[in-house]
Structure 1
């Protein structure tokens, strides 16, 4: 039941029922007043919370914007560049969103708080003042009436007539005040329907505007999100393969640490303890020493391994001689003496072990304290491990190698022939890559083309990359190029069965990239440089799929690339069936004729294209090429 209506005629009767109805209106106004006070309080708290949230999100965005990714290696892949700038993209989106939130917060006080406070003070406050006046007039009227009715009828007529007039005036004023109060109470009850609710609607409209801005921002961000999703997927795939390589190197280092010490441009470096006399007391001080063989310069630096702090300046001198200390000549082990050209006296040093002392003495052409010399040869490095572990029949492997290596017969070798089993081919490749001094891209050959590779890595246009890799490959010696062509044909066949053997073009690039472009030394840095190798070895034509996704392979280095735009534009003689298809993987377009999409995307009007291995479909009104093995029909 709603509130009962207050009739103006009841003001003259002023019955108990009228008073009850009036009291119900007064209670409702008091309830509304308390509710609005709490709402204003909660609204201010909400606005403050939004301000705090906005401040925190802006601080978060600033932190994202200030951080810069540093990738391992000299060259960055397109995926790494995309990921590196992702934090700045995130920060830009958050800051843009917070700018809109700030506008909403600034308007919230004007559209919500101020109107509610004004309604409470001007309308409900006026009703309260009217009630005070009404109660006061009620009390005055009742008092005057009671006093008037207590007058004696024996008083003079003039006196009684005057008293009657006075009561009539008070009664009339009471009725006027009652009418005004009833009018005000009902007016406030009606006003609250719009003056109370309208500010809330305006505030919600501001929220909707803010959320709509976020929706539009998300639509604009969708393209970058698609690219970033693909780049993250590609980077994760490369991480798994790179991690296995690094882990393998780590295990080698654990098993044979002395045989896998990294080769430094300096002849020898490491920690040595130097005997020094301080205050007539002999003490041993730990230095980090670097010796250069060519100028015969020794540099010494005080360095605390525990704190990681350098103490003092570096000291250097030119070596004159180095002699091993006999065990019975000093109480310390692993010692040797050196003399300097530009420093007086003999410097006694202690190595970390007998092997360490031997290495230092070999580097400095050290002498033995006895008449004869000991010569021990230190060999570092192990033969590279083969890529495939499938073992073929040795006679068949040797036959394939002899045919492939013979200039007269190498052109006739067909790896696709049923004559050669897969284990024979893989064993031949393993043997060739392990033991041939000159591989497809030997160290000397590859790095003689370093300038071309650096140009290649800077190219963003796929067609330009293909042209550059064509140039590099055809500058190879004929023998290397023929062997590389045989290898590429074999890898193309392996990749064509990637759904069974999981050897996608990307995986083959990860496996063969560091082998074909073998580094000078086996280090983590060389392994991490696999990105550059991948971009060379898995280079593809614009019509070919991305090298980091499970598409069909393309090896453009021995043939001219085709144009997908021309291929897709040629009309088919038979109208193909139109179907829907769902994306199984994410894909980033590398050409205007291709479509970018994420896993789960639904394509319309999907039909075969003139380009082998590709379909043509429509997404968001745009028609383009889709990798055939990326989708399933629905």
Structure 2
């Protein structure tokens, strides 16, 4: 918008056209006053949001710095070491950028917001309120006196106030071109400097980022190859297990039984029957206690049988579970027949130092066979007792 200039000669003449032109200048200054105040408010909101963003960025950087990527295995490769430390470097990069942002935020009030407010209040506000009030007061006084008689001193005061008011309006309009614009340009320049610093930091950090990307890509390719090998191994294991199950004969032995018997360690999950305190005269263990899950390990060389209780906390507190483990030397292992107990896949164990018989349930028929083979177990004693009774009843 282009306004007509306020001439001092027209100010002295105080024509209606001068008054109209003066009013247009006043309207423009009032709009500028409101707009600058709105800019101040929005700048404060922008700075407030930026402070929150900076806090969030620093919190994010802290989380990245403290995050640890654990390595599976005994040693770390160079790629794993770089990838493991890259998050810490990312956090340092973010903090470095936030340091520059903090400088802008710390200087915003003094260097940008206060100058804007000072120009609005002391320049535009003073002109629109104090100088305008003086001008209107002298104008009213002059024309009231003029209606009665010409008074030179009143005329001189009016001219002085009028000229001063016009000069202030012109001064504010000119100062707006450098004071107000200069403050805003400095504010924007500080943000551009911040973005430039971010660009410089990016250029300095780019080789490291590229190196991390290369190592990540290599790790990804290695992962894909490992997954393919793992799938092949899983299929092989499933086929081997299926083949072993198919070759099991009714007696519970397999073609590979000799090799399995040569294994020195047998371990796995089993369930042990808790013995009831009620009389044992009732058959088939109807009143037997509950079945408790254990992880058992048997060493064929030492004949030591170890039982580790499995509870809800043992998965996270293995040390505590090991503290509750029980070990004993195996004396005898016997396969339980299906008609002697309501559970399948059961076998009995007798310890050297414990007179009672412990009854276990394996996970499957094959699993029971492996346990019995590992412990050099015997077949069902019920069958032997039956034949002994038969020969006693019908002797030769």
State the alpha-carbon separation in 1 of the partners of residues 39 and 334 from structure 2: 90
**Given the alignment, which residue of 291, 303, 309 partners 1:301?**
309
On the 8 A contact 1:272/1:349 being kept in 2, the answer is: yes
1:165-202 per-residue CA deviation (whole Å, 9 max, x = no partner) reads xx444333222221211111111001001100111221
**Given the alignment, which residue of 237, 241, 256 partners 1:253?**
237
State the alpha-carbon separation in 2 of the partners of residues 183 and 260 from structure 1: 106
Q: Within 5 A, what are the aligned runs for 1:509-548?
A: none
On the 8 A contact 2:270/2:360 being kept in 1, the answer is: yes
Q: Within 5 A, what are the aligned runs for 1:5-16?
A: 5-16=5-16
Question: Does 1:91 find its partner at 2:91?
Answer: yes
1:104-150 per-residue CA deviation (whole Å, 9 max, x = no partner) reads 2212222221111110011011112211232233333334444x26x
State the alpha-carbon separation in 1 of the partners of residues 355 and 183 from structure 2: 91
State the alpha-carbon separation in 2 of the partners of residues 343 and 52 from structure 1: 70
On the 8 A contact 2:273/2:292 being kept in 1, the answer is: no
Question: Does 1:336 find its partner at 2:347?
Answer: yes
SS of residue matched to 1:133: helix
Question: Does 1:185 find its partner at 2:194?
Answer: no
Q: Within 5 A, what are the aligned runs for 1:364-383?
A: 364-370=375-381
Question: Does 1:138 find its partner at 2:139?
Answer: yes
On the 8 A contact 2:270/2:296 being kept in 1, the answer is: no
State the alpha-carbon separation in 2 of the partners of residues 142 and 195 from structure 1: 37
Question: Does 1:226 find its partner at 2:236?
Answer: no
SS of residue matched to 1:9: helix
Aligned to 2:30: 30
1:382-410 per-residue CA deviation (whole Å, 9 max, x = no partner) reads xxxxxxxxxxxxxxxxxxxxxxxxxxxxx
State the alpha-carbon separation in 2 of the partners of residues 32 and 342 from structure 1: 100
Instruction: Indicate how the Cα distance of structure 1 residues 99 and 260 shifts in structure 2: closer, same or farther if over 3 A, else same.
Output: farther
Instruction: Indicate how the Cα distance of structure 1 residues 279 and 97 shifts in structure 2: closer, same or farther if over 3 A, else same.
Output: farther
1:573-605 per-residue CA deviation (whole Å, 9 max, x = no partner) reads xxxxxxxxxxxxxxxxxxxxxxxxxxxxxxxxx
Q: Which has the higher helix share?
A: 2
Q: Within 5 A, what are the aligned runs for 1:309-458?
A: 314-318=324-328, 319-370=330-381
Instruction: Indicate how the Cα distance of structure 1 residues 181 and 286 shifts in structure 2: closer, same or farther if over 3 A, else same.
Output: same
Gaps of 5+ in 1: 150-163, 373-634
Instruction: Indicate how the Cα distance of structure 1 residues 127 and 26 shifts in structure 2: closer, same or farther if over 3 A, else same.
Output: same
Aligned to 1:285: 291
State the alpha-carbon separation in 1 of the partners of residues 105 and 244 from structure 2: 63
TM-score of the superposition, structure 2-length normalised? 0.80
Aligned to 2:128: 128
CA shift at 1:28, angstroms? 1.2
On the 8 A contact 1:337/1:347 being kept in 2, the answer is: yes
State the alpha-carbon separation in 2 of the partners of residues 101 and 215 from structure 1: 13
1:273-325 per-residue CA deviation (whole Å, 9 max, x = no partner) reads 22114675533233232223144131221324999788976230303322111
On the 8 A contact 2:272/2:294 being kept in 1, the answer is: no
Aligned to 1:53: 53
State the alpha-carbon separation in 2 of the partners of residues 55 and 9 from structure 1: 59
**Given the alignment, which residue of 159, 164, 173 partners 1:175?**
159
Instruction: Indicate how the Cα distance of structure 1 residues 115 and 257 shifts in structure 2: closer, same or farther if over 3 A, else same.
Output: farther
Greater radius of gyration (CA)? 2
State the alpha-carbon separation in 2 of the partners of residues 341 and 306 from structure 1: 28
On the 8 A contact 1:303/1:309 being kept in 2, the answer is: no
SS of residue matched to 1:3: coil
On the 8 A contact 1:266/1:290 being kept in 2, the answer is: no
Instruction: Indicate how the Cα distance of structure 1 residues 172 and 70 shifts in structure 2: closer, same or farther if over 3 A, else same.
Output: same
On the 8 A contact 2:274/2:292 being kept in 1, the answer is: no
On the 8 A contact 1:69/1:84 being kept in 2, the answer is: yes
State the alpha-carbon separation in 2 of the partners of residues 99 and 259 from structure 1: 66
On the 8 A contact 1:269/1:290 being kept in 2, the answer is: yes
Question: Does 1:214 find its partner at 2:224?
Answer: no
State the alpha-carbon separation in 2 of the partners of residues 279 and 36 from structure 1: 91
- Between Structure 1 and Structure 2, how many residues are aligned? 353
State the alpha-carbon separation in 2 of the partners of residues 211 and 79 from structure 1: 32
Instruction: Indicate how the Cα distance of structure 1 residues 259 and 214 shifts in structure 2: closer, same or farther if over 3 A, else same.
Output: farther
SS of residue matched to 1:328: helix
1:219-265 per-residue CA deviation (whole Å, 9 max, x = no partner) reads 2223323322332232233223222111111222333336799x9x9
Gaps of 5+ in 2: 246-259, 279-286, 385-396
TM-score of the superposition, structure 1-length normalised? 0.51
State the alpha-carbon separation in 1 of the partners of residues 274 and 96 from structure 2: 64
Q: What root-mean-square deviation, in Å, do the aligned CA atoms of Structure 1 and Structure 2 show? A: 2.9
SS of residue matched to 1:362: helix
SS of residue matched to 1:349: strand
SS of residue matched to 1:183: helix
